[in-house]
Structure 1
Amino acid sequence: MKTLLLTVLIGVIAGVIDILPMVKMKLEKYAIFSAFIFYFIMPFIIFNTDLFGMAWWLKGGVIALTLAIPIIIIVSKEDKKSIQPMVVMSVILGTFIGVAGHFII
């Protein structure tokens, strides 16, 4: 139960970190909700995936970026400038989730 609560807490923190700039830029609520849910679920995936013996600190960023690619492709159709921030946030928050999971859980 403790592991589940910590996983949820890490997901909420990562989700809030990702949506703060989106709220400030006044993006549509569906995009904000989608981004929050993406990072809320991400710790469950990262913590329960083993990638060919990949280093624990690298795994989170790789998984988050890989799963964000379809979203990035869809968004890039309308806004080419958003590709780089989405890639950077995916890698940074994915790595944060992986590191937090390694040390906290």
Structure 2
Amino acid sequence: MNKILLTALLGILIGAIDIIPMIKMKLDKYSILSAFLFYFMLSFIIVNVDLYGIKWWLKGGIVGFSLALPTIIMVAKEDRKSVLPMLIMSIVLGTIISAIDYFWIS
């Protein structure tokens, strides 16, 4: 299959994994859409970036954490209890994206 299509499907899958708990908690639609688009675009970034020879299992977590950090700082102003789950999800889902890229896409 085409690498772009596989990356898009990966982004949809990872985005859905992230927003399911948000839908259950009945968060506002803008937060849900923002989180989905973040992980959808994150899959394209992780799949196509080369971090100076850093191993695949570390690349996803670093990129996910780095790109989520500005949003996490902004959210921390209003809701400190969301910071840790956001940090964990960005690192874990970034690593999952990187693993799927390593084993199936690339």
* TM-score with structure 1 setting the length: 0.97
CA distance in 2, matches of 1:35, 1:64: 12
Q: Per-residue deviation at 1:43?
A: 1.2
2:77 corresponds in structure 1 to 77
The Cα RMSD (Å) is 0.8
CA distance in 1, matches of 2:54, 2:25: 36
Deviations 1:29-76 (A, max 9, x none): 000000000000111101111112100111011101000000001111
2:33 corresponds in structure 1 to 33
Aligned residue type for 2:72:
I
* TM-score with structure 2 setting the length: 0.96
Aligned residue type for 1:67:
L
Instruction: Tell me how many residue pairs correspond in the alignment.
Output: 105
Q: Per-residue deviation at 1:2?
A: 1.1
CA distance in 1, matches of 2:104, 2:5: 11
Work out whether 1:15 is the aligned partner of 2:15.
Answer: yes
Structure 2 residues not aligned, in runs of 5+:
none
Structure 1 residues not aligned, in runs of 5+:
none
Q: Secondary structure at the match of 2:38?
A: helix
2:103 corresponds in structure 1 to 103
CA distance in 2, matches of 1:59, 1:69: 15
Residue identity (%): 56
